[in-house]
Amino acid sequence: MSSHTQVPVPHFIRNIIEADLASGKHTDVATRFPPEPNGYLHIGHAKSICLNFGLALDYQGHCNLRFDDTNPEKESEEYARAIQEDVQWMGFQWQGEVRWASDYFEQLYGFAVELIKQGKAYVDDLSAEEMREYRGTLTHPGKPSPYRERSIDENLDLFQRMRAGEFADGAKVLRAKIDMASGNINLRDPAIYRIRRAHHIRTGDAWCIYPMYDYTHCISDALECITHSLCTLEFEDHRPLYDWVLDQLAVPSHPRQIEFSRLELRYTITSKRKLLQLVTEQHVSGWDDPRMPTIIGMRRRGYTPQGIHEFTRRIGISKSENVVDMAVLEACIREDLEARAARVMAVVKPLKVTISNFVAGESQSREAGFHPEHPEFGSRIVPFSKEIWIEADDFTENPPAGWQRLTPGGEVRLRYSYVMRCDEVVKDIAGNVIELRCSIDQDTLGKNPVGRKVKGVIHWLSAEHALPAEIRLYDRLFTVPEPDNDKTRDFCEFINPASLTVVQGWVEPAVRDAVPETHYQFERLGYFCTDRHEHEPGRKLTFNRTVTLKDSWAKDPG
């Protein structure tokens, strides 16, 4: 079941699809999501997932999940499994079985043979360095390889021997014969097969030659009868090659490649290589660290699929630069959790308060609903006792102007409970406040005091009933909006030293049995989620801060 239920937002790709359906060019819509299983997916992939699967749903078509597994050294089953889980967690389901580029290796080989027979591909012996030299520059045309005019028979023989493993890795490549003088460098006889002895996650050691991405992708699309092949703008210059390959071959369809701008999210990075660096250098605890922009990390932090969908809807699809502030993503998550998360109280910096006039059996606990707008969420008893915890930040001896919380001699309302006055401040020998002695107005449970107005309301917990919890306060991973923009410095220098603070706090007894991935609003503190892996209901309570209650970062001038 998809959580993709938002009203569609018009954009240029949707316009193309609707024109194609209206003209009869296509009777249905077939898209694909084609990740390489060489890392975990991130927020940029989430945009692509929502686009490809979302369009297929909107037009009652289908979307394939196809792994681009043409680069065996960097690929793993772990990544492939994680990608499938991410897509399903996002609320989508691909058509039929998972597909792999390797499903088509035999056909891809056959099509390469066909290009050789047409005189449109040749085996080249130039080294990678020599090929670069021969390729020319943006202002100078390339020059033909001395092996470009090999006969068809010689090329067929050499290509078959490449497959048979006669030559060393890198000794030869198969190149398409297009145009060495083309203004588009991608058309200057691109390599379409290389020799690489690497164990493949699906085909094992059956192959020692592997097709290149540009060659593989367009043929895979065509074999699957994809109608609209959507990719990011860096592939725009590759589109002529996509079309050239398909124009030479007897394939069942010719999909249309359409490019859109990739997502750049401020205060984070989305380069797979740099994300891997964060993991391997242990700047984070792993790919699913809640500070990571990976889908698995966002999930562990407590982001919701619905919030991510709304984010991708809000930022839109276009060809113009798509640099988005982190505050936009956080706002979408906050808005989704506002309606979804039960509200409870927690204390992260506890200060002990003793109620001097507490009377056992007379001073009462009170029932409170879990959400003011959702009575169906139910309610719980908020227990009251002689000793309570309040937030240390809610008390000061030197209140600034406008302070509406607790001060010596001042009063506040305890949320869902009595009005309380601070009568005495207890300090240790260093002068630190370690306890407050307070009294309650017994006549204020559920009603206002007579003759005076109490402005402030603070959260609190009964010390007798509160449960200990590990509370992880997450913040942005980087201190600057574009951490990898400065080419003279390592992006890791900009890691925010305060991106994670772990505190031992207290929570209401009502959350004792919450299962992993349960969302709460801790009143006045933010939205939190029970950890996927290190939270054990009734035994070890671990909460990750998903997002604060309001944007605590100044808006970017940019």
Token output for 449: 């005091």
- Report the interhelical angle of 152-164 vs 105-117 (nearest 10°): 160
> Residue 62 pairs with which residues in a beta bridge?
30
Active site residue 36: yes
Catalytic residue among 143, 262, 352, 415: 262
Number of Cβ within 10 Å of residue 306's Cβ equals 21
Of 75, 68, 152, the C-alpha closest to 105 is 68
Whose tokens are 């001395």? That residue is 146
Query: Residue by residue, what is the 3-state secondary structure of 205-266?
Result: CCCCEEECHHHHHHHHHHHCCCCEEEEEHHHHHHHHHHHHHHHHCCCCCCCEEEEECCEEEC
For 400-446, strand residue ranges (E) read: 411-414, 419-427, 433-441
Active site residue 482: no
Distances (CA, A) of 141 to 95, 132, 150: 44, 12, 21
- Report the interhelical angle of 77-89 vs 43-58 (nearest 10°): 60
List alpha helices for 398-471, DSSP H: none
Long-range contacts, stretch 262-265, CB < 8 angstroms, 24+ apart: 262/44, 262/47, 262/232, 262/233, 262/234, 262/322, 263/43, 263/44, 263/47, 263/315, 263/322, 263/324, 264/321, 264/322, 264/323, 264/324, 265/43, 265/44, 265/293, 265/323, 265/324, 265/325, 265/326, 265/329
Catalytic residue among 47, 135, 239, 272: 272
Distances (CA, A) of 340 to 336, 382, 521, 525: 6, 21, 9, 16
Residues 174 and 159: beta-carbon distance below 8 Å:
yes
Active site residue 262: yes
What's the one-letter identity of residue 211? P
- Catalytically active residues, by annotation: 36, 262, 272
